């Protein structure tokens, strides 16, 4: 049996281990994982929010077209340079935030929210000296702990505002069946209807669970899409075959739909090969043995950390 090792990032940024992906194994971990699987990752929920994904993709493509129209005159061949990593990041972030929190914000609000969320992602993966030499924690070498505390405060303020807005709207709703719930709505209902194991209050559980789903879904998708596009641009033959497959099964007179994916076998293979060559996370999150054990004849002491290279 393995556990998650303790870390300063998990303590400060993950609401003192309330994020189930970074917290210890136990009744709380099992219950929140079950809720996340059923209420966010189930086929029913994925289908329910297909219109959100479709809307965000259409909006992103429209913005790209408008950007090209605005800048093509200054280019010699009509082409316009774009930072695709940023384009993917905005698309994925907008989609995930809408599904998780139901938030529609202005460009200024979006920029501010994206900035603090990206800082959260960065600090969550920063190696901290004190995680390995705890007696040096008071020095805060590199200033990471101070940065984590500042970012955790910014994240919590943002989530508190969104949670308060959800509570306000819930009180005003008369007919729940006519209202489309986002994941924060679902978590709010669950936490009000039953007592969850563990010592965390309802607000902490809601905020931590929503944030862990966001952090797990954004960066991994961004890295995968960026590598896939990069590999295709460097392999003309594969790019041409993918285009031919799209022309055959979709045609040139409509946009690709999610229902088309089952027919795009070569495109699926491209994504799988991209994941094989460039995994979004070369190392899995660290594991730690809960007790002394023997694995393939090797004695593994309690507390041994394991980093799996996938």
**Residue 284 belongs to a domain:** no
Domain coverage including residue 120: 2-219
**Residue 252 belongs to a domain:** no
**Closest by Cα among 290, 18, 133 to 304:** 290
Q: What is the pLDDT of residue 108?
A: 72
CB 286 within 8 A of CB 10: no
CB 1 within 8 A of CB 287: no
- What are 241-283's pLDDT values in tens digits? 999 999 999 999 999 999 999 999 999 999 999 999 998 877 8
Q: What is the pLDDT of residue 177?
A: 58
Mean pLDDT for 199-221 is 91
**Residue 197 belongs to a domain:** yes
Q: What is the pLDDT of residue 157?
A: 92
Q: What is the pLDDT of residue 219?
A: 85
Please check the confidence at residue 236 and state whether its pLDDT lies above 90: yes
Q: Which residues contact 148 (CB under 8 A, 6 or more apart)?
A: 8, 9, 12, 13, 123
**Closest by Cα among 262, 263, 269 to 238:** 269
CB 13 within 8 A of CB 35: no
The answer to which of 62-66, 110-114, 120-124, 144-148 has the lowest mean pLDDT is: 110-114
| pLDDT tier at 138, thresholds 50, 70, 90 | very high
Mean pLDDT for all residues in the chain: 89
2 membership: H or E segment, kind and range: strand 2-3
User: In DSSP terms, which residues pair with 299 in a beta bridge?
Assistant: 294
- What are 31-49's pLDDT values in tens digits? 999 999 999 999 888 999 9
Return the percent helix, strand and coil in the chain, to nearest 5.
65, 5, 30
Q: What is the pLDDT of residue 74?
A: 77
| Spatial distance between the Cα atoms of 69 and 59, rounded to a whole number of angstroms | 15
Please check the confidence at residue 126 and state whether its pLDDT lies above 90: no
Q: Output the domain CATH number for residue 71.
A: 1.10.630.10
Mean pLDDT for 136-155 is 94
**Residue 261 belongs to a domain:** no
Mean pLDDT for 95-117 is 81
| Spatial distance between the Cα atoms of 45 and 182, rounded to a whole number of angstroms | 10
**Residue 242 belongs to a domain:** no
**Residue 274 belongs to a domain:** no
**Residue 288 belongs to a domain:** no
Please check the confidence at residue 178 and state whether its pLDDT lies above 60: no
DSSP codes of every residue in 215-284: HHHHHHHHHHHHHHHHHHHT-HHHHHHHHHHHHHHT-SSS---GGGGGG-HHHHHHHHHHHHHS-S-SBP
Q: Tell me, what DSSP letter sits at residue 187? A: H
Number of domains in the chain: 1
**Residue 299 belongs to a domain:** no
CB 37 within 8 A of CB 229: no
Q: What is the pTM of this model?
A: 0.88
């Amino acid at each position: 049996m393995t556990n998650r090792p303790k870390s300063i990032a998990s303590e400060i940024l993950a609401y003192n281990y309330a994020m189930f992906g970074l917290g210890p194994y136990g009744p709380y971990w099992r219950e929140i994982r079950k809720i996340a699987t059923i209420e966010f990752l189930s086929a029913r929920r994925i289908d329910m929010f297909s219109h959100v994904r479709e809307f965000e993709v259409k909006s992103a493509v429209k913005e790209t077209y408008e950007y090209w129209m605005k800048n093509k005159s200054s280019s010699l061949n009509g082409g316009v340079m774009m930072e695709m990593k940023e384009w993917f990041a905005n698309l994925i972030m907008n989609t995930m935030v809408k599904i998780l929190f139901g938030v529609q914000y202005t460009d200024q609000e979006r920029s501010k929210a994206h900035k603090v969320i990206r800082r959260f992602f960065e600090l969550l993966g920063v190696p901290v000296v004190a995680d390995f030499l705890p007696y040096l924690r008071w020095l805060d070498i590199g200033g990471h702990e101070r940065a984590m505390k500042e970012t955790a405060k910014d994240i919590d303020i943002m989530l508190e505002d969104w949670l308060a807005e959800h509570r306000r709207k819930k009180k005003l709703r008369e007919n729940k069946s006519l209202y489309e719930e986002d994941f924060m709505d679902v978590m709010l209902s669950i936490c009000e209807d039953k007592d969850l194991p563990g010592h965390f209050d309802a607000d902490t559980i809601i905020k931590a669970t929503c944030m862990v789903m966001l952090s797990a879904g954004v960066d991994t998708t961004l890295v995968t899409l960026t590598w896939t596009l990069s590999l295709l641009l460097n392999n003309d033959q594969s790019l041409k075959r993918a285009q031919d497959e799209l022309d055959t099964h979709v045609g040139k007179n409509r946009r690709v739909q999610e229902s088309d994916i089952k027919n795009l076998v070569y495109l699926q293979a491209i994504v799988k090969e991209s994941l094989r060559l460039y995994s979004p996370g070369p190392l899995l999150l660290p594991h730690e043995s809960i007790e002394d054990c023997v694995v393939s004849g090797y004695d593994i002491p309690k507390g041994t950390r394991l980093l799996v290279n996938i």
